[in-house]
Each structure stands twice: as C-alpha cells, then as structure tokens.
Amino acid sequence: MAKPAEDPEPVTSVPEATPGTAPAKVRKPWQIQPGQRLNPHGRPKGTRNAIQEHFLRDFVVVWQQYGEQALRRCAIEEPGKFVKIAAMLLPRNVEVSATVDVAVDVTDFRQRFDHAVELLGNKPGPKLINGRHITSPSHSVPKYRNNA
C-alpha cells in the first residue's frame, strides 16, 4: 500500500546575508512587518483627556455626597488604607531651604542644649576625650594658631 502524499510545509525563502551581517528575520504573513502601521491615524487628540475629565466630574459629584462619610468609615474600619491614602496625597519631593548661622555663640548653644536635656529627662553618658573619662569641664583643649 502506498502512503498518501503529505502536504509539504510552506517554504519561506530566507534572504541571504551579506558577509559580516546577520540574516534578516523571516516573519509570518500575520505578524507585524517592519514599517507597518496598525493605526495610521493614531489616537484622536484629546480622547485621553476627555475620559479623565468625565471621570473627575463624576468623582466630584459622588465625593460631594459621600466623601466625608467614606473617609471617616475608612479611618475607623481600615486605618492602614486610610494612612496609605493620606501618604499618596502628600507631595513626594519637598524642597527645604535653610540658612545656617556659622557664628553661633557656643555658650548659648550649650545652655540651650543642657536645658533641652533637662526637659527631656535624659542623662548624658560619660564624657570621653581620647578614650579617657572627663570629670570636670576644665579639660585641656588643644589651641591652634590662627594662620590668617
């Protein structure tokens, strides 16, 4: 008995590569071909904005009716989500500018620091200089010459 003839698979010709280059990729007819545009006119301008505007209008209407109620319920029933919502509403980058007065009076700073420590009830640990305990504030501090 003779075998029935099988349909041979379609042969796609592979363009020969020039020396030193890779062969061109063979694409099936249903695949997107290089340079092919699926929607030559593209998305109409303003459609994305229109959807956002409609959503925001609807959101405002619902928010005016249920907003405060929903926030209170979320804060009570799901405080984790409530905090997450609050954090998402805060700006991510905050610019801080500060000026520092370099000519701060050291004794004034020390008095304010001691007062803050007293108010907080913190007891400072032992004072160390070069690994030695200092018991009195009259320790020797090296003096440097001013070369100016």
Give the pLDDT confidence of 6-54 residue by residue, as tens digits. Answer: 555 555 555 555 666 766 778 888 888 888 878 777 777 777 788 888 9
Residue with the bigger pLDDT between 78 and 126: it is 78
The answer to whether 23 and 15 have CB atoms below 8 angstroms apart is: yes
pLDDT of res. 30: 84
Confidence of residue 93 (pLDDT cuts 50, 70, 90): confident
Instruction: Kindly give, in sequence order, each residue whose CB lies less than 8 Å from that of residue 128, ignoring residues fewer than 6 positions away.
Output: 134
pLDDT of res. 128: 64
Beta bridge partners of 127: 134
- Region 96-100 average pLDDT: 78
Domain boundaries, given as residue ranges, for the chain? 47-89
**Phi then psi dihedrals of residue 132, to 5 deg:** -105, 140
Helices 79-89, 47-77: crossing angle, 10 deg rounding: 140
Reply yes or no on whether the pLDDT at 145 is more than 80.
no
